Amino acid sequence: MKVMHMRWEGAPVPYTRMTRKSKWVDEAAKKYLDYKHQFSDAIRKHFPDWQLPPRPKHDKKADKLWLKEQKKITYGLQMDVWFSRDSGDYSNALKVLEDALQGAGVIWDDKMIKRFEGGDSKIDRENPRIEFKFWRLE
């Protein structure tokens, strides 16, 4: 079984709810989006062989077939997160990881992740980070 294992250094920036307008003006939303893009870029760089095949854009029949094939694929995920202070929210850190995997082109939708295995939330003031394992279910 092929497993993606990664350690992402730095204080996790949790998911922030936003509207189409707020993502351009709300500082928390901008900070979240920047963090998600950096995380996605790192995943894409370190795991290029995990990229989804390109989705057909101008052929509805091919797109339907692509989507049908992608819906058959499911993944498992395990995440541990170390926050820099005691105000972290595990579920929001999990959402940023799901969004980063999608942004990196590893999954097309976070509903492809069907198994979550015991993760942990801890405090590490000197070395906040996210560590995760991600694998394809057979």
Domain boundaries, the chain: 3-137
**Angle in degrees, CA 86, 131, 73, rounded to 5:** 125
Average pLDDT over residues 19-37: 80
Residue 79 DSSP class: E
Cα–Cα distance, 38 to 31 (Å, whole number): 11
Mean pLDDT score of the chain: 89
**Model-level pTM?**
0.87
16 has a pLDDT exceeding 80: no
Average pLDDT over residues 22-26: 71
Write down the CATH number for the domain with range 3-137: 3.30.1330.70
- For 44-81, give one letter per residue: b (16+ CB within 10 A) or e: beebeebebeeeeeeeeeeeeebeeeeeeeebbbbbbb
pLDDT score, position 11:
85
Token readout for 65 is 């077939």
Query: Band of the pLDDT at 19, cuts 50, 70, 90?
Result: confident
136 has a pLDDT exceeding 80: yes
Tens digits of residue pLDDT in 48-98: 999 888 888 889 999 999 989 988 999 999 999 999 888 778 888 899 999
The residue whose two tokens read 């996605």 is 40
Tens digits of residue pLDDT in 30-54: 888 999 999 999 999 999 999 888 8
